[in-house]
Amino acid sequence: MCGPWFTPGVCRYTVLTPTVGTRGQREVGVSVNLQRYRAMWAKATAHLRETGGGTAFVVGLVWKHAPVAGGLLAVFTLVSGATVPLVVWSFTELIDALSEVVAVQAEPWLAVAPWLLVLLGALAVRSIESASAFYLGERVAVPVTAAMQHGVHEKAAALPLRDFEQEAYYTKLETAQQFNGDRLSDVIDSLSWLLSSVIGVAGLVALYVRAHWLLAIVLVATVALRAIVESSMSRVSVEAKYRNSPRRRERSYWSGLLANRTAAPELRLFRLADQLLGRWRRAHKQSVAAEVTAQRKMALVSIASVAAQEAIGLVMVIVLLLLALRESISLGDLVALLYGLSRFRDLTRYAGYGLQNLFVSRAELGHLRAFLALEGERRPCRSPRRGPPRPIREGVQLRDVSFTYPGAARPAVDGVTLTLRPQERVALVGENGAGKTTLVRLLLGLYRPTQGAITVDGIDLTEVDPDEWRREATAVFQDFVRFPTTVRENIAYGDVAVLAGGTVSNEAVQQRFAAAAARSGADRFIATLPDGYDALLGKEWAGGVELSSGQWQRLAIARAYLRDAQIIVLDEPTAALDPRAEVAVYRQFSRAAAGRCAVLISHRLGAARLADRIVVLADGRLVEEGSHDDLLQQDGVYAGMYRLQASWYTQPAGGEWDR
């Protein structure tokens, strides 16, 4: 009985049985935990829904990006599946026709010709499908793979910058990227195998029903068993892959570093190859050990499944022989159904491979879809909102702004209140880790404060489209990108509107390029390149020219100067320059910053004297603020840092700082 006083989801069934040796009866209570079976059912249905959702996702991509090739592949697959029962059926009728011809001594060809034509036609269709499947599969996989990769790259470019500070992002990305062109081809093949096998099995089941309905039930049960086994095996495989993602990334990192051109000098100078090879071997060993453990579990399950399937096949053969001896089926039925058993074994194997690949791909597709579903940067929730003011009149104000990196124990910026006024040059100084670069990224809208607010002319930046706000700013970061493209494109990336409009060769645009290069001092080395602004940079491509670190840095500064921005940020812009070039860049920066809000980050405090105001950060907090002379008079943190740097130039050789 199931009563309200029982544990929810648990039923007790009471069975009355005679008690041996007594006149009474004893009650045997059998409890069945329905919750467990409900959970198992819910898990199974969830897997099926996820598999169906992933399959629908792939089918949607195929329909969108390769409808003709995908449609032809589906038609050929359906027809190929139908040929399996057709071949078995034609064998049955062919043998029975021959038996009748022999019995009555009639003309054989007239009786067997129709079934021979059916048999040959089915085999011909199967051969055509087999020959065209690879070609059509590739015609589907190539454009669909490109579409998926484009989606992953587009999503990565749209995610908030803080996501890149989390290990979970790289695990999701690496797992999503596992679903590459080969995996998509596997999915397409698996869908073809599965669809063809299902049609073939359905046709064979119909033929076996003619012999005996129990045979059909056994066949269906065998397919169900194989599906359950493949689902279990795929779950083990996918879980192992996901857990193993950090090890694979580590192995890939050390592998890339060992073959990296930039790292090659240090590896040879410090003889680091053996150390890094050792790290690669350890990561590889751990990764392989985890994969072998998963494969061992899968192999044991697979062996048990195959053994059970072969035992069922043997029983089926015996049953068919008994039915033939009883003359319940004809000789043609016996031969054809025995042949059908071998074809059924092949079909279940193909269906098993297809199911396993689909279940494995289900999880990988799940990670891919989860990555694509990650929330990008939030756009203004209030609509419509005007863009950032142009020109900025009151300035940018940070009010009690704090920011903590994901997983960090303390904030990188802590309770900073600061106003950056239009046409003002501000220098941010402080020790490494003081929060200077983080503060600049908050200003540029690359991070959002975890506490406090940033406003421009009183408008909260959360109400402004991030792209619109960033168009009003330009920057040279300490870790700038060296694009392996032409000089012209390297500069043009500072204002993509130039590239989008197709006006890169326009005379007015060329003048802008020349002006930006002159401001940064890049024009001097550009003039020495064989192809000038059309010179291809980097050694990644044939014919590329490599620049020095200082030349790359000047090019990055030119890129920043190209944009007509209201805010300009230079984060350690002269780290790779010689003293003469450094002075020139700072003078050019002072001129380029005219009329803009300019923010300079530099460890060289002599450059800070160019600023109208110096802001000193320590441990993420604003500790001092004022002009160079005012801060020296305060004799605080800035004054101590300035005197320490100055001593390098005033202290005699062999002085205290050399001890």
Question: What letter does residue 296 receive in the DSSP assignment?
Answer: H
For residue 503, the model assigns a pLDDT of 57
Looking at every residue in the chain, the average pLDDT score rounds to: 76
Section 223-243 average pLDDT:
67
CB atoms within 10 A of CB 512: 19
Partners of 416 in beta bridges: 401
For residue 451, the model assigns a pLDDT of 92
Section 65-86 average pLDDT:
83
Residue position matching structure tokens 């959970």: 39
pLDDT in tens, 291-318: 777 777 777 777 777 777 777 777 777 7
For residue 625, the model assigns a pLDDT of 92
> Cα(470)–Cα(15) distance, rounded to whole angstroms?
76
Q: Quickly list DSSP for 232-288.
A: HHHHHHHHHHHHTHHHHHHHHHHHHHHT-TTTHHHHHHTT-HHHHHHHHHHHHHHHH
Per-domain residue ranges for the chain? Answer: 51-234+296-372, 394-421+441-470
Residue position matching structure tokens 């062996």: 303
Which distant-in-sequence residues (6+ apart) come within 8 Å of 565 by Cβ?
471, 472, 473, 474, 596
Partners of 621 in beta bridges: 618
What is the percentage of the chain residues whose pLDDT exceeds 90? 8
Which value, in Å, is the radius of gyration of the alpha carbons in the chain?
37
Query: With 0-12 CB in 10 A as exposed, 13-18 as middle and 19+ as buried, what is 339?
Result: middle
Query: With 0-12 CB in 10 A as exposed, 13-18 as middle and 19+ as buried, what is 173?
Result: buried
Is the pLDDT at 403 greater than 90, yes or no?
yes
- Banded pLDDT at 5 (limits 50, 70, 90): very low
Of 458, 443, 454, nearest in space to 570 by CA: 443
For residue 254, the model assigns a pLDDT of 80
> Cα(88)–Cα(202) distance, rounded to whole angstroms?
13
Pairing outcome for strands 25-33 and 451-456 = unpaired
Task: Give how far Cα 370 sits from Cα of 325, 362, 406, 624, Å.
Answer: 59, 12, 20, 46
Is the pLDDT at 452 greater than 90, yes or no?
yes
Q: For the domain bounded by 394-421+441-470, which CATH number is listed?
A: 3.40.50.300
For residue 232, the model assigns a pLDDT of 65
Largest CA-CA distance found in the chain, in angstroms, rounded:
125
Q: Which residues of 426-450 are buried (b: 16+ CB within 10 A; e: fewer)?
A: bbbbbeeebbbbbbbbbbbbbbbbb
Q: For the domain bounded by 51-234+296-372, which CATH number is listed?
A: 1.20.1560.10
Is the pLDDT at 17 greater than 60, yes or no?
no
- Banded pLDDT at 180 (limits 50, 70, 90): low
> Cα(495)–Cα(515) distance, rounded to whole angstroms?
14
Instruction: Check if the beta carbon of residue 197 is closer than 8 Å to that of residue 321.
Output: no
Mark residue 93 as left, alpha or beta (left: phi above 0; alpha: psi -120 to 50; beta: remaining): alpha
For residue 107, the model assigns a pLDDT of 63
Q: Which residue has the higher pLDDT, 10 or 150?
A: 150
Residue 533: both structure tokens together: 């602004």
Instruction: Check if the beta carbon of residue 425 is closer than 8 Å to that of residue 419.
Output: no
Of 234, 236, 229, nearest in space to 348 by CA: 229
For residue 234, the model assigns a pLDDT of 63
Instruction: Check if the beta carbon of residue 136 is closer than 8 Å to that of residue 73.
Output: yes
Instruction: Check if the beta carbon of residue 148 is closer than 8 Å to that of residue 123.
Output: no
For residue 2, the model assigns a pLDDT of 42
Of 404, 395, 397, 409, nearest in space to 451 by CA: 404
For residue 495, the model assigns a pLDDT of 84
Residue position matching structure tokens 């409900």: 38
Is the pLDDT at 539 greater than 80, yes or no?
no
> Cα(531)–Cα(559) distance, rounded to whole angstroms?
19
pLDDT in tens, 471-491: 888 888 877 888 888 898 888
Is the pLDDT at 27 greater than 50, yes or no?
no
Q: Phi and psi at residue 410, in whole multiples of 5°?
A: -140, 160
Of 210, 196, 194, nearest in space to 337 by CA: 210
Residue 191: both structure tokens together: 């869908």
For residue 123, the model assigns a pLDDT of 79
Section 613-631 average pLDDT:
91
